[in-house]
Structure 1
Amino acid sequence: MRKPGTLWGISLGPGDPGLITRAAWDALQRRDTIWVYPARSGKTPSYAFDIVQRAGLAPPADHTQLLFPMTHDGEKLGRAWLKAAETVLPWLNEGRDVLFLVEGDASTYATFGHLARTVKAISEEVPVQIIAGVNSFTAACAQVPVPFSEQDDTVAIVPAAYGVSAVDRLLPDFDTLVLMKVKPILDDLIDWMQRRGLLAGAHFIERVGAPDERRYSGNAILELRGTKVSYLSLLIIKHAHRIRGERIKGCLKKETV
């Protein structure tokens, strides 16, 4: 019996081709593989494929996009995952490795997990491997720049779809909040940050690392109210930064006395 090929999750980083890791770069040099990459619809180009194109990487002879619709409808998502798995399984069963291109990190809020789980449910002997990558929120912190976390900071990474009330409940317990995919409730989040006095430590980053990246910090975030933003947008809120800053100033004053 022929040994099946491996399904690979190839992390590409959030948008800047320079953040593709050496391991991912080496995997993408192989000509004996098949590339697949996610798209939200047939009319929307794949962001992951755009990253490798901007990196100057030529695809192998066989490559195709897989549709993963933007919906919370479990039945529709299940059908999409099954169709994607049925697309890649014939190649895997032929012994060919399939490389699934993922923006960011393949194990962090990525479509790769759905595909891998569905493939394994149908054919559990298919090996699955992930090449880790730079995720969007650490890349965004580097761009701002602010530290993602320091010393004993507590951090929460939350899809904004949980809603403002859920985020508000987390606020007292975490020094840093990372709110992913903020597009649907951005105006509500802006109002909430303004009420809570959080704008001074807030940073909005859209399509981090891409040529059309946008960044807004502090009160400039108010300019986004009522505007359209990309699905690939996030907010970083540093809740305790002023307290930490005041401690540093206090130490400096003591040293100069």
Structure 2
Amino acid sequence: MNNDLPSLRYGRLIGVSLGPGDPDLITRRGWTALQSDARWTYPVKKAEERSYALDIVVRAGLAVPADAVELVFPMTRDAVALAKAWARAAARTAELLAEGRDVAFLVEGDASTYSTFRHLARAVRELAPEVEVETIPGVSSFAAAAACADIALAEEDETVAVIPAAYGVSVIDHLLDEFDTLVLMKVKPLLDEVLDLLEARDLLATSCFVEKVGSPEERVVKDIASLRGEKVNYLSLLLVQNPKRARGELRRGCRKRAAATEIGTVATTAEEAA
């Protein structure tokens, strides 16, 4: 009996961040991964539906390989349906990795920020713990949105928070007093409620709406009150700045320690002189 049979060698699972929509924002590292021998996989909401992530690559001028595989991640809050979809996607990905070839999962935006990829990687590792995972970082949608809207996310000692708008207006209201800039992701379901809050807080003029940033359908709206009652795209966000926010005194530990050292040195020198 031969006990020296080769063990199964899995390929690497690579999360390839593509940026939020503009193909020119694909990093060199991401571009290299796309042109490697890695098998492409990409997310869709329904079988044989258009993939936003895949569209970015196509607009970059790359041909979709004949063996590229779609993975279905339905837009639903049905826990049972979601669990089944995740199980299918993870099993299919593990099956591809078991062929020994790397698998590149195409990710819009950044693979570490509100991304399907991290969830997929965990699910795959539950099936095959030995799978190596590589994450290629990319430009986040809110960084690209701030750039195209000519807005600074933070300057000097300012603070930034990034949250899904789904946390609700009470949480948003609280965070407006804690951060200089608030990035509200996926604002579609609560847009009118958020607009009402920003109007009450007198922050409409210092807020900006950005939809499908970097794509051919990109839209930047600075008169955000005009959006009331409008059905916006799922891929939309609000950048909210609160210039009137009261800030506490900053604790600059290094500077204080440096000052204390200087005082101690002066005192020692004075004692020696005496």
Fold agreement, TM-score > 0.5: yes
Q: How does 1:162-241 map to 2 (within 5 A)?
A: 162-217=167-222, 220-240=223-243
Whole-Å Cα distance in 2 between the matches of residues 233 and 198 of structure 1?
19
SS of residue in 2 equivalent to 1:203: strand
Q: Which residue of 2 aligns with 1:21?
A: 27
Whole-Å Cα distance in 1 between the matches of residues 123 and 32 of structure 2?
27
Q: How does 1:66-215 map to 2 (within 5 A)?
A: 66-215=71-220
SS of residue in 1 equivalent to 2:93: helix
Deviations 1:210-253 (A, max 9, x none): 00101101xx211111111110000000112799xxxxxxxxxx
Taking every aligned residue pair, what percent have the same amino acid on both sides?
Answer: 55
TM-score, with structure 2 as normaliser: 0.85
Whole-Å Cα distance in 2 between the matches of residues 39 and 172 of structure 1?
38
Deviations 1:95-141 (A, max 9, x none): 01111000000010000011101000111001111000000000000
Whole-Å Cα distance in 2 between the matches of residues 129 and 241 of structure 1?
42
Q: Which residue of 2 aligns with 1:63?
A: 68
8 A Cα contact 2:182 2:240, kept in partner: yes
Deviations 1:50-95 (A, max 9, x none): 0000000112231122111112333322221111011111110110
Q: Which residue of 1 aligns with 2:250?
A: none
8 A Cα contact 1:5 1:127, kept in partner: yes
Task: Report deviation, 1:171.
Answer: 1.1
Task: Report deviation, 1:14.
Answer: 0.2
TM-score, with structure 1 as normaliser: 0.90
1:154 is matched by which residue type in structure 2?
Answer: T
8 A Cα contact 2:39 2:103, kept in partner: yes
SS of residue in 1 equivalent to 2:152: coil
Aligned residues: 241
Whole-Å Cα distance in 2 between the matches of residues 189 and 54 of structure 1?
34
8 A Cα contact 2:180 2:245, kept in partner: no
Segments of 5+ residues of structure 2 without an aligned counterpart are 1-6, 247-274
SS of residue in 2 equivalent to 1:173: coil
SS of residue in 1 equivalent to 2:74: coil
8 A Cα contact 2:177 2:245, kept in partner: no
Please list every run of at least 4 consecutive aligned residues from structure 1 whose deviation after the TM superposition is greater than 6 angstroms: none
SS of residue in 1 equivalent to 2:41: strand
Against the structure 1 CA distance between its residues 43 and 229, is the aligned structure 2 distance closer, same or farther, given a 3 Å change threshold?
A: farther
Whole-Å Cα distance in 2 between the matches of residues 42 and 89 of structure 1?
19
Whole-Å Cα distance in 2 between the matches of residues 116 and 242 of structure 1?
39
Whole-Å Cα distance in 1 between the matches of residues 151 and 218 of structure 2?
17
Q: Which residue of 1 aligns with 2:254?
A: none
Against the structure 1 CA distance between its residues 71 and 85, is the aligned structure 2 distance closer, same or farther, given a 3 Å change threshold?
A: same
Task: Report deviation, 1:2.
Answer: 3.4
Whole-Å Cα distance in 1 between the matches of residues 66 and 45 of structure 2?
23
2:34 is matched by which residue type in structure 1?
Answer: L
RMSD, aligned CA: 1.6
Larger Rg: 2
SS of residue in 1 equivalent to 2:200: helix
